[in-house]
Amino acid sequence: MSNIDHLIWGVTTAAAQTEGGFNADGRGLSIWDTFTNKPKSIKDKSNNQVATNFYERYREDIDLSVKIGLKIFRFSISWSRVLPNGSGVINEKGIAFYNKVIDYCIEVGIEPWITTYHWDLPQKLQDKGGWKNRDIITDYENYIKVLKLYFVDRVKNWILINEAIVCIGAGYFLGIHAPGKRGIKSFSASIHHILLAQARGYRVLKGKKDIKIGTAISCTKIESHSKRKKDLRAASRIDALMNRLCIEPYIGLGYPENELPLVKRIKRFVQQGDMEEMKVDFDFWGIQTYAREVVKSAWYIPYLGSIPVKPSKRKAPVSIMGWETYPDGIQYFLERFSIYDSEKPLWLTECGMALSEKEDDAKRIEYYTHIIEGMKKVSDQEINLKGILLWTLVDNFEWAEGYIPKFGIIGMDKITLNRKMKKTAFWLKDYLSNRSG
Ligand code: BGC
């Protein structure tokens, strides 16, 4: 078996899922503050006003990451903490908070990585249409200029947009995430704008030589329910939507219109020069994968013509998220993305397993062991894998699922918010300290 001891291990977190401090020190509201107030929006009727209180406990979480042996601490910036109105006046106290996080990481020897957008749009921008309104591209560009001004001297690795397809699919198509919008028009406009904004953001940051700029791509293994032509076509449609739409325009391949008829709707929002502007050569691609979906053709479903076959109906294990956790996706997507470009640096910027409160954490160790095996299998191939960031450190606010699924390698007491390392954290600490690299 190959040696993968050189791979760098770290952890990914996100502001809306951890920070809390929703109205502390001049922070403006985000779409998640509004969304969680709507009845029935969150499964356990919770909200993220306190979350894991990373806002006050960031030192402890960074210390724990170091103790486990992790080398990268990826966190996201809450746009409305820095710019309470989304644009205009800068909230110096918000900047001060992120300076403290960055400086503390550096002080204790873990590298800070920034995600600029992990789904928490300022409500003030949503009031103007959010990602549906083309003006957002300029707002995002200006926001990135602010982040560059304050943080680029110390933060060398940046991820611009986290999982555009999930953020826009769930928030502007299905309405199950903030801001709760639905419909094809809302989706088509928003997806184009967020992808174009990301290209703009890249150009803002690119001026600096010593920094690396990437994107985090949601990857879901899609399989056809049968070998029938119409099911195979349905699978290739969903695959194009989930795994190609948000990467191919940057490589210059455009939107995957042959497989995905929905692209016609997106094209209504494409203006002259957009596709050219979209061609940016990210310094790395971040692959994020959790699940496998099996789909079959369904003529009555508008635009997509397909439905998922539930894991229970195909005798697959189902996680508390309702999906089939699929660690083999790691190997599959690393191989697949290397076909686009075998030299491109790849990071697994998220992978993780959701367990219920009652499930034994040993299952998570099994999952990560499986992932290590997958990474070993690809290490002999021409794949430029750099490292892996786990999802996630501390059990947190899992969006519309509230606090029910537990993705953390560290548990948290509901009342005291005290942290406690789980079996996986101890196992990982051993694994990392016994490596030769
Ligand atoms: C997201 C995280 C989320 C995780 C598990 C990823 O797609 O980036 O924010 O918690 O999936 O659902």
Mean of pLDDT values over 384-390: 98
Are the C-beta atoms of residues 112 and 106 closer than 8 Å to each other? yes
- Residue 325 Cβ inside 6 Å of ligand 1? The answer reads no
**Cis amide linkage into residue 308, ω under 30° from 0:** no
Segment 21-38, tens digit of pLDDT: 999 999 999 999 999 999
Q: Among 165, 166, 321, 409, which is best to mutate for testing ligand 1, by the most ligand atoms less than 8 A from CB? A: 166
The DSSP 8-state label assigned to residue 109 in this structure reads T
At residue 208, does pLDDT exceed 80?
Answer: no
pLDDT at 207: 79
Q: Which residues contact 116 (CB under 8 A, 6 or more apart)?
A: 76, 77, 79, 143, 144, 147, 158, 159, 160, 161, 201
The whole-model pTM stands at 0.98
Percent of the residues in the chain that have a pLDDT greater than 70, as a whole number? 100
The alpha-helical segments, DSSP class H, found in 207-316 are: 229-239, 248-251, 263-267, 274-278
Instruction: Judge whether 163 counts as a catalytic residue.
Output: yes
Segment 304-360, tens digit of pLDDT: 999 999 999 999 999 999 999 999 999 999 999 999 999 999 999 999 999 999 999
- Residue 349 Cβ inside 6 Å of ligand 1? The answer reads no
For the CA of 321, the closest atom of ligand 1 is 12
Catalytic residue among 111, 163, 293, 324: 163
pLDDT at 437: 60
Instruction: Judge whether 373 counts as a catalytic residue.
Output: no
At residue 1, does pLDDT exceed 80?
Answer: no
Mean of pLDDT values over 79-95: 98
Closest CA to 223 of 210, 237, 209: 237
325 forms beta bridges with: 291
Strands 346-350 and 306-309: unpaired
Instruction: Name the pLDDT band for 225 (thresholds 50, 70, 90).
Output: very high
Instruction: Name the pLDDT band for 386 (thresholds 50, 70, 90).
Output: very high
At residue 247, does pLDDT exceed 80?
Answer: yes
